[in-house]
Amino acid sequence: MDTVIREIKTKNVITKTDVPVCDCAVNPYVGCTHACKYCYACFMKRFTNHAEPWGGFLDVKYWEPIKNPGKYKGKELFFGTVTDPYLPQEETYGRTRALLNELKGSGVKISVQTKSDLVLRDIDLIKSFPDARVGFSVNTLDESFRADMDNAVSIERRLAAMKKLHGEGVRTTCFISPIFPGITDVFAIIDRVKDQCNLIWLENLNLRGSYKPVITAYIKEKYPSLVPLYEEIYTYGGREYWTELDAKLSDYCKENGLLYVRDDDLERPFDSPPAVVNFFYHEEVKKSAKKRPTDV
């Protein structure tokens, strides 16, 4: 699929956000050519005036120079809430790098979330920011499943980049998200990354919006034995899978000397390596389970 690319002007590339891990969101692009089948950010398409499917277009942002970068001093800026700041097109357009250069020396704190090893290009620039963090999204070690789900670089390249950054003293996060029930081997991923990252974030798969039927059809085709489990979770709102996984993770972390923190206990110090943070219990998961007809 060819990507439709256009260059656009925007007043400000830094926006306030209610995302709990930061003060401001930074998205140097509109759209995301990784085209993840489970992308929650696909809702953004309706604001873009694009006819192309999510993943098939990219708007490259240009903004007026930031007159006073120091006004963001002490703020946490999160690069990549609804796009990947290190898409392949970043190598050509360099909008993420341009913004990092504008903010250099301003005293802001930055967090970068990506599925690309292109972030290594900017390693020296990233290290110039206090307490910089780079997170990599990894929800499988199976390259065939990864290829079914996204167009990003291989898992091995992501893990190699994580190891490089960690070795350079940059705080790194492995974002195991979304966890596909019965498919994502959370424990294998933790075993693989626990010595090369400071934090491991866990997030359950939420099925909603336009991608719910896409994922449901994929499970029926590729993992038919898991259809009852997915119906239990995503039709009837069952939480048993997540509560059992939560308990197993708690035991695993105790056995392996890892700090385990749930999303309702984030006031605890959880940035001492290594730490595992559980974000399973979103409001979507907490909603009362729908009753089966036989339960009525």
Mean pLDDT by 10 residues, the chain (296 residues): 88 88 92 89 60 79 94 95 95 98 96 98 97 96 97 98 97 96 98 95 90 95 98 95 96 93 60 74 43 32
Please state the domain extents for the chain: 1-98
pTM here is 0.89
Q: At what angle do helices 186-193 and 155-167 cross, to 10 degrees?
A: 40
Secondary element (H or E) of residue 254: helix 240-255
Query: Is residue 68 a contact partner of residue 98, using CB atoms and an 8 Å limit?
Result: no
Amino acid at site 48: T
Half-sphere CA count of 23, side-chain side, radius 13 A? 10
CA distances (Å), 255 to each of 29, 246, 248, 250, in order? 42, 14, 11, 9
Q: What is the pLDDT of residue 292?
A: 33
Residue 96 sits at φ, ψ, to 5 deg, of -65, -45
Structure tokens at 112: 């970068």
Closest of 128, 8, 129, 137 to residue 83, by C-alpha: 137
Tell me if residue 103 falls in helix, strand or coil.
helix
Q: What is the pLDDT of residue 293?
A: 33
Tell me if residue 226 falls in helix, strand or coil.
helix
What order of strands is seen across the sheet that includes strand 29-30? 4-10, 57-63, 29-30
Tell me if residue 214 falls in helix, strand or coil.
helix
CA distances (Å), 267 to each of 230, 263, 271, in order? 33, 9, 11
**143 contacts: CB under 8 Å, gap ≥ 6:** 154, 155, 156
Q: What is the pLDDT of residue 266?
A: 53
CA distances (Å), 265 to each of 237, 249, 271, in order? 23, 16, 13
**60 contacts: CB under 8 Å, gap ≥ 6:** 5, 6, 7, 8, 28, 29, 89, 93, 95
Q: What is the pLDDT of residue 57?
A: 86
Closest of 91, 26, 94, 83 to residue 58, by C-alpha: 83
29 has which bridge partners? 60
Q: What is the pLDDT of residue 290?
A: 40
